[in-house]
Amino acid sequence: MRYYPVIAVIPARIGSTRLPRKPLADLGNGKTMIQQVVEIVTLCQSIDTVIVATDSEEVKESVLMGNSTAEVVMTGICCRSGSERVWHTIQQGNYSHSKTQLIINVQGDEPLLKPWMLDVMVEQMNRKYNFGCQVATMVQMSDDPEELNSPNTVKAIVTRLGDAVFFTRNPIAGPDGTFYRHLGVYAYNRFALNDMMEYGVGQLEQMENLEQMRLIEMGLRVDVTKISHSSPIISVDTQEDLDKVRRLCSHQYQSCCNP
């Protein structure tokens, strides 16, 4: 059931320190990273409007060349996080309309997401809206020891009720070596995102260097959508990650990279 219009914003910063010019990276399938993510999000049945928020004219040009219906909003280079870039975007023009209550933040470095994953998260948040669900995110189970020990892989601690209570870059796993890997996707109630921006950077966010820890420090309920391990998802943070995605996007594994 749809309760209100849904906007998806894809923050895409050109100046990544670990992988410069990441949104424009060639995936080997005829698309740039940002074009691939835009295509995924525009195919979601639950999303009404797709916006790319960027500080780069080159990224804007790449999006417009991708023949999508996505809009592009230019944001300043001063944004400290993806959520902050999303917030600045929805304050502009028609996006500030009060009827838009659900905002989806899809990080521009998640080229292997599938549209159905986002649809499931939106539907799950809709069902739980009247039960205090203000923020949702996405995780995937992993048992990869390399990912476990990598600070580039964010781990989530999730309760039996499906709420995230902590995020960390440090290795933390169950007795069987499995853990939840956090994916760069969020759904916010508009008021929760507003509160997040007004709260500012807290101690937990500084400690872990993770913006999502601000939500935990604020005491907001963070609902979790669990994605099957059978669907390969790689968040692109480094050149090594990009090389893995390119191999999956090759002709041999084309189905993995198709939305």
As for how many domains the chain has, the answer is 1
Domain with residue 37: its CATH number is 3.90.550.10
1-48 pLDDT, tens per residue?
555 789 999 999 888 778 889 999 999 888 999 999 999 999 999 999
Domain-embedded: residue 175? yes
Strands (E), the chain: 6-12, 49-54, 71-74, 102-106, 135-142, 155-158, 164-168, 179-189, 222-227
* Residue 178 in this model has a pLDDT that exceeds 90: yes
Domain-embedded: residue 259? no
Q: Which amino acid is at 117?
A: M
d(CA 194, CA 175): 38
Q: Which amino acid is at 177?
A: G
Domain-embedded: residue 13? yes
* Residue 242 in this model has a pLDDT that exceeds 90: yes
Domain-embedded: residue 1? no
Owning domain of residue 234: 6-254
| pLDDT bracket for residue 156 (50, 70, 90) | very high
d(CA 101, CA 152): 31
Roughly how many angstroms between the first and final C-alpha of the chain, as a whole number?
Answer: 24
